A and B are shown apart, each in its own frame.
Chain A
Amino acid sequence: MLAGVKEITKDDLLEEVQKLAGENWRLISITGTDTGSGIDLIYHFDQELTLLNLRFQIDYGETIPSITPYYFCAFVPENELKDFLGVEVTNLPVDYQHLFIISELTPVKIPLLRKAAGDDAGEVKPE
């Protein structure tokens, strides 16, 4: 369904990204989804309005390498991944320690994990 997807593995990531950086692709963002059996990561790139998505899956608790050596701007979505999905990223130059967007006061620790939703999952009901 999604156009322009390239399935890769975690080990290929840095190599692929390096190639794209050499060809002047622009990093749009990184999306993580909790699929129930792990985390699905999509790296969105753009060049002249063409969209390219690199996609791979990791297990819960697995770490991913940071792509900041090639795209410095990746620290923003990588910190978001840490905040929202608890994905640990190695070699992150600007590390907010899980406090980029959420804070210590956020009641749910890793909000986008299915586990984190806990008992109150389901539709929001009027008070």
Chain B
Amino acid sequence: MIGKTVIPFGPQHAVFPEPFHWRLVMEEERVLDAIPGIGYMHRGIEQLATRMEFAKTLFLAERVCGICSFMHALAYAESLEKLMDVEVPPRAKYLRTIWAELARLQSHLLWIGLAADAFGFESLFMQAWRVREYVMDMVEFTEGGRVMTSSVTIGGVRRDLHEEAIEFLLENLDKLEVGFEEVYQVFTEDPLIKHRTVGVGILSKEDSIRLGAVGPTLRGSGVAQDMRMLGYAAYGELEFQPVVEDSCDSYARMVVRLKECFQSINLIRQAIKKLPDGDVLVKVRGKPEGEVVTRIEQPRGELLYYIKANGTKSLERFRIRTPTLSNLPPLMHMIKGACLADVPVITLSIDTCIACTER
């Protein structure tokens, strides 16, 4: 009988792109208990927002996360529009939808590459990122920046899609679909990947709700919940169903993300087809007052913004709850009882984004 050992895992570890620490209490190869340690990159965005002008805070919100920057800007703009009673023109709503789906695609493809890398599948990692480059091109062509797009503003969007851009989008979507199909096949058929993920990191349906899981983690456990069903931006007018998998393991969460890529491609095509004409921006006057809760589906799950404004030029309270923060308790639950070698795969399976967790 061997006693308990405590293994510090991280903050610098080969599979995590960001500093994230696990304190693993082990008995032989099994994890008995796991305590996460975060806070290596806290930037104090919530406090800074209460001292900046609200219009400039948009750019601050965009910088909460380096991957889903568009989603944060969208959530912020949607919240302030609710506070200030601004009706966004329909064309702007559709453009927001298109860009939000592009952001989801690039984030999922990024994760797919990283996951392949964590399995030790280097060539698949490169294939996934090669496909991702089509998305990055689309983002840069239509929004002007690869990561920090600054394309949403309060009252609409700052850029319009002209004919040429729409052609570019459709052309690249076709290329992307063909390329992604190959990656998808490898992921769903390869025995090695199945061996690493099937039955690893089980999170049952009841646990997922009780522990507050969000996004693909929740949908991988058989709960059909997708914040896009709330119908923000133009989602209310497009046809889609949340992707749900029932096997509750890391494999299910992976398949949810893979299938969501196809769903995003489909949504972009639908939105382009229905794209209405007209303005993309309305003038916004006055100062925000009141409080609002906005929920938006990020690639990693539900994002909650709570904003309280008091009619001055800065906000009174700016609260961000990012999806990874909600997914930490389910992750602790999944890791208990797992092998040490599975810890990286399970941790990756919720798609951790530490920077936005610490904002």
Cβ-based interface call for A58 (8 A): no
Question: A101–B210 contact, CB under 8 A?
Answer: no
Establish whether residues A33 and B317, one from each chain, have CB atoms under 8 Å apart when the complex forms: yes
Residues A51 and B51 in contact, CB atoms below 8 Å apart: no
Residues of chain A with a CB closer than 8 A to B302's CB: 28
B42 contact from A31, A106, A123, Cβ within 8 A: A106
B residues 195-222 near A (Cβ < 8 Å) are 209-212
Chain B 137-155 interface residues, beta-carbon cutoff 8 Å to A: none
Question: With A26-B212, A29-B321, A29-B326 in contact, is A101–B295 under 8 Å at CB?
Answer: no
By size class, the interface of chain A is: 35 or more
Closest Cβ of chain A to B213, distance in Å, is: 8
- The 8 A CB mask of B46-57 against A (1 = contact, 0 = none) is 111001110000
Q: A103–B19 Cα gap in the complex (Å)?
A: 14
The answer to whether A124 and B52 have CB atoms under 8 Å apart is yes
B212 touches which of A33, A48, A73, A117 (Cβ 8 Å): A73
B328 at the interface (CB under 8 A from A): yes
Complexed CA–CA distance, A28 and B39 (Å): 20
Q: Please indicate the chain A residues that have their CB under 8 angstroms from the CB of B35 in the complex.
A: 94
Which of B227, B230, B291 is in CB contact (< 8 Å) with A1? Answer: B291
User: In the complex, what distance in Å separates the CA atom of A100 from the CA atom of B292?
Assistant: 26
B contact residues around A49 at 8 Å (CB): 225, 227, 229-230
The 0/1 profile, CB within 8 Å of A marked 1, for residues 317-356 of chain B is 1010100011011100000000000000000000000000
| Docked complex: A92-121 residues within 8 A CB-CB of B | 94, 99-103, 106, 108, 111-112, 117, 121
Given A29-B321, A123-B314, does the pair A101, B358 have CB atoms closer than 8 Å? yes
B309 CB to nearest A CB, Å: 10
Chain A residues near B358: list those with CB within 8 A. Answer: 101
Report, as a range, how many residues of chain B touch the other chain: 35 or more
Q: Which one of A1, A34, A48, A72 contacts B329 once the chains associate, using CB atoms below 8 Å?
A: A72
- Given A28-B302, A76-B328, the answer on whether A2 and B293 have CB atoms closer than 8 Å is yes
B282 on the A face (CB < 8 A): no
Chain B residues, Cβ within 8 Å of A66:
none
Q: In the assembled complex, which residues on chain A have CB atoms less than 8 Å from the CB atom of B278?
A: none
Name the contact of B39 in the complex, choosing from A34, A42, A99, A111 (C-beta under 8 A): A99
CA distance A101 to B358 in the complex (A): 6
User: How far, in angstroms, from A103 to B358 measured CA to CA in the complex?
Assistant: 12
How many angstroms from the CA of A34 to the CA of B325 in the assembled complex?
22
The answer to the question of A24 belonging to the interface, with a C-beta cut-off of 8 Å to chain B, is yes
Cα A26 to Cα B358 in complex, Å, equals: 22
Q: Is the CB of B42 within 8 A of A101?
A: yes
Bound complex: CA of A40 vs CA of B51, how far in Å?
20
**Given known contacts A1-B290, A29-B304, A101-B39, A24 and B209 CB-to-CB distance under 8 angstroms:** yes
A126 at the interface (CB under 8 A from B): no
When A71-B210, A72-B211, A103-B39 are in contact, do A28 and B291 touch as well, CB less than 8 Å?
Answer: no
Complex Cα distance, B330 from A124, in Å, reads: 38
Closest residue on chain A to residue B308 by CB atoms: A33
Q: Which residue of A lies closest to B321 (CB)?
A: A29
Does A87 belong to the interface (CB within 8 Å)?
no
User: Provided the pairs A1-B290, A72-B211 are in contact, do residues A112 and B46 lie with their beta carbons within 8 angstroms?
Assistant: yes
Cβ contact within 8 Å between B210 and A44? no
Are B229 and A2 in contact (CB-based, < 8 A)? no
Contact sample, A vs B, 28 pairs, CB 8 Å cutoff: A1-B291, A2-B290, A21-B210, A28-B304, A28-B326, A29-B325, A31-B317, A33-B308, A33-B317, A33-B319, A44-B304, A46-B295, A48-B225, A49-B230, A51-B295, A73-B330, A75-B329, A77-B321, A94-B35, A100-B39, A101-B38, A102-B39, A103-B39, A106-B42, A111-B44, A112-B47, A117-B51, A123-B52
